[in-house]
A and B are shown apart, each in its own frame.
Chain A
Amino acid sequence: MSNQNDEALKPTREQFIYANLLIIGVWAGIAILFITYAIYLFGLLPPHVKISVIPSVWAKGVNEFLEITHSPHGWGWVSLLTKGDFLNYIGFVLLALMTILCYLVLVRGYIRQKNWIFATIAILEIVVLSLAASGIFGGGGH
């Protein structure tokens, strides 16, 4: 095998599909974060926590930070989407959800192929990631 175009050197179909989905999500994430950050920095939407306050509180413990800034945890940020700073969470969440979305497509493909081992692995991973996303584990902040 010495030919660069050899079929054996090419990625599998599932790998190609995963890559294509991911690149769409990546560019969408970059574009969304550019826009929302500009809205935040230029004050087009008022922030929940003033920018000038942040450096004075980020050295505190996480609970103190949340108390002083009246910031939510869990999925509470959804109610603050009209605020410039929390609007950026749309981009964060899109990036954090990308893997789950790609895995859902993988599961479909593996089931069609009757590849039960990898279908099971993919389903279990979706369960793990969804549990993490749900907020039931609370947090691990230092």
Chain B
Amino acid sequence: MFLWSVAGVGLMVALAGALAAGPGLLRRNLANLRLALPVALVASTCSILGALLGLYLSSLNPNIIQACLGITIVGIALLLLFSKNTEKPVVTNQDAIGLALGLRGAYWDDGARESVEWKTHRTALGLCLFILVGLLAGMFGLGAGWANVPVLNLLMGVPLKVSVATSKFLLSITDTSAAWIYMNRGCVIPLIGVPSIVGLMLGSLIGVKILAIAKPKIIRYMVIIVLLFAGLKAMDKGFGLGLLG
């Protein structure tokens, strides 16, 4: 299949999965609406630009983009692997922007059987990085969870479970704008789109329940493994190695 059809269906699938997971994550207070709203505004605006930029870049050598994307994702996975305290980062002082927006919360961690309080720092820098995240998400027709989670967790100090949950919920907002771009271009093929969308939605409903009870350490390693796989696959494609199929 040509890249446009994969990107079109891919975005709808990512959007649908995020919409399905959203209610469960919001109700459990794992996804935080106040954290998501300003981030989503930045990322969704830029994902429109990214989707339009994707058309221009597709006329260049797409393999260069794939290779750069792959290297970035693998780098993020390694950063997560070697970073300490990612499950519950210690944030001593909240910055002014985080304070003004009320970017703080608490949730009950079923896996660890304890309540966890959190607040953000480096909020301004985080919002700036989400410009780049939105651009890349729109350009590649990706969900951008691979970028949302590290920015929220490693940079802004949000606990890993909240980062994963809020990232998943964020996709329901940021992917909406890019999905409309691809739909308006006729890039969503119902024949493959519908079963993919419905399947992922049902899977997401189950996944939310698993996230709530899973131990944070397991979530951390799952995120790293998925990132490494996605990054190595993109590098394999970008460098034309063909080792991973």
Residues of chain A having any CB pair with chain B under 8 Å: 1-4, 6, 8-12, 14-16, 18-20, 22-23, 25-26, 29-30, 33-34, 36-37, 40, 51, 54, 58-62, 65-66, 71-75, 77, 85-86, 88-89, 91-93, 95-96, 98-100, 117-118, 121-122, 124-125, 128-129, 131-133, 135, 137-142
Contact = CB atoms under 8 A, between A and B. Distances in A.
Interface of B: 1-5, 7-8, 12, 15-16, 19-20, 22-24, 26-29, 32-34, 37-38, 40-41, 44-45, 48, 50-55, 58, 62, 100-101, 106-108, 114-115, 117, 138-139, 172-173, 176-191, 193-195, 197-198, 201-202
A9 B198 contact: no
Contact of B185 (A2, A60, A95, A139): A139
Given A61-B4, A118-B34, A139 B15 contact: no
B117 to A, nearest CB: 7
Contacts of A77: 186
Contacts of B177: 128-129, 132
B107 to A, nearest CB: 6
8 contacts: A19-B22, A22-B172, A29-B16, A75-B184, A135-B180, A137-B48, A138-B52, A140-B54
Given A88-B194, A122-B37, A125-B37, A141 B29 contact: no
B27 A99 contact: no
Contacts of A132: 44, 48, 176-178, 180-181
B188 to A, nearest CB: 6
Contact of B7 (A33, A58, A74, A142): A142
A92 B12 contact: yes
A139 B38 CA distance: 25
A131 to B, nearest CB: 8
A1 B117 contact: yes
B55 A9 contact: no
A117 B8 CA distance: 33
A141 to B, nearest CB: 4
A124 B41 contact: yes
B138 A72 contact: no
A129 B180 contact: yes
A15 B3 contact: no
A36 B19 CA distance: 20
Contacts of A74: 184
A76 B219 CA distance: 43
A34 B198 contact: yes
A96 B176 contact: yes
A11 B169 CA distance: 14
A64 B52 CA distance: 18
